[in-house]
Amino acid sequence: MQLFERFNLGHGFRKYFEIAAATNEQLRNDVFRIRHEVYCEELKFEPERPDRRETDSYDPHSLHCLIRTSNAPNHLVGCTRLVLAKPDDPLAPLPFEHTCEHTLDRSIIDPMKLPRDRIAEVSRLAVRGAYRRRRGDERAPVAISDEDFGTGDQPRFPYIPIGLYLGAVALAARSGIDTLFVLTEPRLASHFGKLGVDIKQIGGPVEHRGIRVPSMMHVPSIIKGMRFMVKPIWRVIQEEIEQGFENEKGGKSLT
């Protein structure tokens, strides 16, 4: 990482990648194809589909985004989604509420008692195999480790996974979401702490494609508490997500 990129993660992200809100059918199909490649073909978490699109019942009431390479926008890198409450049935459980039904600690928080239009879940993170280079990454759809942040002498930054999470936060902020839930591997909290993000475990571990724990984040606190070094990449991602919605509203192509 060059010195300027070390101190301006926004510049570094924009040099290599771009993030887009999947605001039209073509972009959503790109998301579903990434998910099929990772979840169905590579990891075998889901059965392969004839149309090579991995979708489920949550997608119609979700917001999606994807990362592409900045020098070749048609080259897809990864994706994620933000599952919102179901418009015609807001009490319908989010995915983690099903998975963690028996391990969720409702003395910490009970999602059913929150305004359902102000909560959402980050899910279906997926990064294509060519961008999961570390040994062991081939067994997970997306991964972050301590070595991704480098050292003082050899700084690095996990642009792709952090970019996807920040993309979900940007989608949440523009949608009036206060509380984000996520089902992740236990070590994620320590990695988020490096960014100034407070993520709180809200239940015991479950077996879900490996050991996972349910956690929550407060969207306004994420934005307010970001470390100084993270703010430039946040501004770039927020701007690109917002621009996608503006372009779609104005009838411009996002592809």
Concatenating the DSSP letter of every residue in 209-229 gives SSEEEEEEEEHHHHHHH--TT
Mean pLDDT of all residues in 13-35: 95
The predicted model scores a pTM of 0.86
Mapped onto helix, strand or coil, the DSSP state of residue 75 is coil
Average pLDDT over the chain, rounded to an integer:
86
pLDDT grade for 90, boundaries at 50, 70 and 90:
very high
What pLDDT sits at residue 4? 41
Helices (H), 108-230: 159-174, 188-193, 219-225
Give the lowest-confidence range in 111-115, 153-157, 250-254: 153-157
In the chain, where the domains are located:
3-249
Query: Is the predicted pLDDT of residue 148 greater than 50, yes or no?
Result: no
CA distance 133 to 110: 38
Mean pLDDT of all residues in 223-238: 93
CA distance 170 to 237: 7
Query: Is the predicted pLDDT of residue 31 greater than 90, yes or no?
Result: yes
Give the lowest-confidence range in 26-30, 78-82, 144-148: 144-148
Mean pLDDT of all residues in 123-130: 93
Give the lowest-confidence range in 63-67, 212-216, 229-233, 246-250: 246-250
Please tell me which residue, 155 or 113, carries the higher pLDDT value: 113
Query: Is the predicted pLDDT of residue 143 greater than 60, yes or no?
Result: no
What pLDDT sits at residue 193? 72
Buried b (16+ CB within 10 A) or exposed e, 44-69: eeeeeeeeebbbeebbebbbbbbbbe
Angle between helices 9-16 and 231-249 (to 10 degrees): 50
Mean pLDDT of all residues in 106-112: 96
pLDDT grade for 196, boundaries at 50, 70 and 90:
confident
CA distance 166 to 148: 16
Domain spanning 3-249, CATH architecture? 3-Layer(aba) Sandwich (3.40)
Query: Is the predicted pLDDT of residue 134 greater than 60, yes or no?
Result: no
Query: Is the predicted pLDDT of residue 64 greater than 80, yes or no?
Result: yes
pLDDT grade for 170, boundaries at 50, 70 and 90:
very high
What pLDDT sits at residue 32? 98
What pLDDT sits at residue 133? 61
Query: Is the predicted pLDDT of residue 141 greater than 80, yes or no?
Result: no
